[in-house]
Amino acid sequence: MRVATWNVNSIRTRYARVIDWMLREDVDVLAMQEIKCRPEQFPVEAFAEAGYELEIHGLNQWNGVAFASRFPMEEVATSFPGQPGFLKGAEGPDLPLEARALGVTVEGLRLWSLYVPNGRALGDPHYDYKLDWLAALAHDTQQWLAAEPELPLALMGDWNIAPLDSDVGDPSFVPGVSTHISPPERSAFTAFETVGLRDVVRPHVPSGFTFWDYKQLRFPRNEGLRIDFILGSRAFADLVTDASIHRDERKGDAPSDHVPVLVDLDIDLGDDEYDRPMVF
Would you state the pLDDT for residue 271?
55
Would you state the pLDDT for residue 273?
46
Would you state the pLDDT for residue 237?
98
165-185 burial: b if 16+ Cβ within 10 Å, else e? eebbbbeebeeeebbbbbeeb
CATH top class, domain 2-271: alpha beta
**Phi, psi (rounded to 5 degrees) for 91:** -135, 165
Q: Are strands 74-77 and 29-33 parallel, antiparallel or unpaired?
A: unpaired
CA angle 123, 227, 170 (to 5 degrees): 75
* 22, 50 contact by CB (below 8 A): yes
Would you state the pLDDT for residue 50?
98
Would you state the pLDDT for residue 268?
83
Going from N- to C-terminal start, the domains of the chain cover 2-271
Would you state the pLDDT for residue 145?
98
Would you state the pLDDT for residue 116?
98
Q: What's the CA gap between 222 and 6, in Å, rounded? A: 19
pLDDT, averaged per 10 consecutive residues of the chain (280 residues), comes to 98 98 98 98 98 97 96 98 94 92 98 98 97 98 98 98 98 97 98 98 98 97 98 98 98 97 91 44
